[in-house]
Structure 1
């Protein structure tokens, strides 16, 4: 019997946001190359459902994921304990599967890099983050990257620039995110009944998991400002909170209620019908207020032929062509957001022009075919060397 070539995948979240969608792409590519992925998830969720559909073996195990909320003495002690247990779990799993390669998705997963370096197994780290601090965390990750990962994948030039200046051995390689786009080309999705959107309304949408960096409260401030001049505009917010950031959602709901905006701003939570949401959208906004590496949702919005207004927060500045597919604005600047969005609100021709150019750009510069080609090349460079 031919021995299967097993690859261990460590996934930081079980949700189908940007990094989750990308790891599913990578898993399918590895399968197509004759490899056998074994995935470790931190808990059940939409990704586990997709893995079952694809016949991919997965396990649930606390991986001691690093989050900002753990950056305290007690929090770090908790993470050390969870990573120690995860390390032992990987040891037991390796006895059965004899892994040839370890793949860690996002810098929030650290146990795989350390385990792979100790076992002398090739390791790929897929970096989605720009981390300005704290210094001790950045220094720790830099040392672990240099020790474990000769060629980490980074999702944008912005991420590469950030980490390249810190690394002494590892050489980051840019592979831009890409997804299947066909479902975003349709324009025949039925209206979303619960929103009660009239044909005279103009819909402005943001999509992103609620956390301090994604800018949901900034988006609410933008909506409040635009509502004064453009009362026909409706504002959609899609995404649920990361565990520990429920207070941000509570603040959003309080503002909507206290300022009488319940018929203007709609907080929809997590949705699986993103193509339909974007089909109902006229303008897409990504209001990140912390570095955002390469937001997959911008690819989705451009594929749906929507103009994009995004903050200069990292990868968005590479993705959006200023004045051609959308506008780039400073982080947290309500006045700049109002000015950019007003131009699009006033001109249906400009919205169509930007949307058309955005779709052409995403298919030209961020094609799924190129993502597959680059990922396969990167994979075999690691396995051949091993």
Structure 2
């Protein structure tokens, strides 16, 4: 959400719009920061990276303070970011607001439950119960009223749009779909980045490198890629799997690798900074996203497309909005190791298919997911909201 907000704000500012971001406390205590043409206002004393009642109260006050001098035209709320304006702000709400949905309450609950089923430990169950209570509270006290008063609701995928309409009882005409954006200047094809990572990890040029990246959680399905590897290696010995990321499921994943005697075939890289991710993506031959989580629109998919790599991903959540099966990627049934094995072998053996998926994916990233294209769509929505206000 942070990365999407940054790309959107920078793109809007580049086109001459004045953009201010009101956000949670800065880890180092900063209260104001200007990056390029975007002004960031950090609310000191609120927990960094978390929406809380205190944040909502203070964000409403900060908005009113800034509004007296700036005279804002519109608010764009990422998830419940601007809920404070609705709950504690001016009851007249003279400034219209839009809401960006990366997911919904039920889709989040479904994903959390999958994680518990995959790893039914005391910690996972406790996390589930805590998050269950929080999501129910948000649903009952926040979401329905907040969304009902929004001028427009922006869903990041068709699937999230349809789910939100049913779940929150929304008017269909109020909901639009705009995908997450990718920075095409950062994520791009680079043989230099490919060679650097492969040399660093001792991966031969003729070895096929599979890559999985993201938060290492039970519902991300990374264990499925590991469990698929023995069958793949039986048929194609020159294959290795690289896993980039860290999370609560990391120790379990490491144990699975050891139990299957795959230490020489699986490279666990741990946490990697986002600005280094293009290096790792370029190093791979096939990118895997075997998630069993109902995700809105995984940002990693357009990033991989922009780097010109073929994708094999689960047919779940908003992924079918990002990947057209057989054209710019391959979709498999979530949780199916056999399907994953079959498609990986097919792609290894059919270089022309791999090249087609790569080329089409790169083209689609440029046409549909680039920062410029996504910002244009947001501006169209914002203009619609402001025209409706003028007509009223």
Q: TM-score range by the shorter chain?
A: 0.7 to 0.9
Structure 1, unpaired ranges of 5+: 1-18, 67-81
Residues 252-263 of structure 1: matches in 2 within 5 Å? 252-263=253-264
Aligned residues: 346
Shift of the alpha carbon at 1:334? 0.5
Question: Which structure: greater helix fraction?
Answer: 2
**Which of residues 74, 89, 94 in structure 1 aligns to 2:58?**
89
The aligned residue for residue 153 of structure 1 is 154
> Is 1:274 the counterpart of 2:277 in the alignment?
yes
- Compute the TM-score of the two structures, normalised by the length of structure 2: 0.77
Distance change (3 Å), C-alpha of 1:226 and 1:130: farther
> How many Å separate the matches in 2 of 1:87 and 1:314?
29
Cα offset, 1:278, TM superposition: 1.4
The whole-number CA distance in structure 2 between the counterparts of 1:105 and 1:83 is: 14
1:1-386 matches, within 5 Å, as 19-31=1-13, 32-41=15-24, 43-44=26-27, 52=35, 56-60=39-43, 62=46, 83-98=52-67, 100=72, 101-106=74-79, 110-111=83-84, 113-115=86-88, 118=91, 120=93, 121-132=95-106, 133=109, 136=136, 138=139, 140=141, 142-169=143-170, 171-183=174-186, 184-189=188-193, 190-192=195-197, 193-241=199-247, 246=248, 248-268=249-269, 269-271=271-273, 272-383=275-386, 385=389
Provide the C-alpha distance between the structure 2 equivalents of 1:225 and 1:119, rounded to a whole number of angstroms.
Answer: 63
Question: Alignment partner of 1:165: what SS?
Answer: helix
Per-residue deviation, 1:225: 3.8
* 8 Å Cα contact 1:146-1:168 kept in structure 2: no
Q: Provide, for residues 204-254 of structure 1, a one-character-per-residue CA deviation record: whole Å limited to 9, x for no partner.
A: 11222233432222332233442343332111222233xxxx2x1111122
Normalised by the length of structure 1, the TM-score is 0.78
The separation in 1 between residues aligned to 2:325 and 2:103, in whole angstroms, is 23
Distance 1:96 1:108, change over 3 A: closer
Partners of 1:288 and 1:49 in 2: how far apart? 38
For the 8 Å contact 1:131–1:291, the answer to whether it is kept is: no
Pairwise CA distance, 1:353: 2.0
Return closer, same or farther for 1:97/1:325 CA change in 2, 3 Å cut-off: same
Structure 2 CA distance for partners of 1:350 and 1:177, relative to 1, 3 Å: same
SS at match of 1:188: helix
Q: In the alignment, which residue of structure 2 is the partner of 1:76?
A: none
Write the deviation string for residues 34-92 of structure 1: whole angstroms up to 9, x where unpaired: 323133135549xx9996466632315536977xxxxxxxxxxxxxxx73322332244
Cα separation, partners in 2 of 1:88 and 1:146, compared to 1, 3 Å: closer
Hey, what's the Cα distance between the residues in 1 that align with 2:374 and 2:170? 25
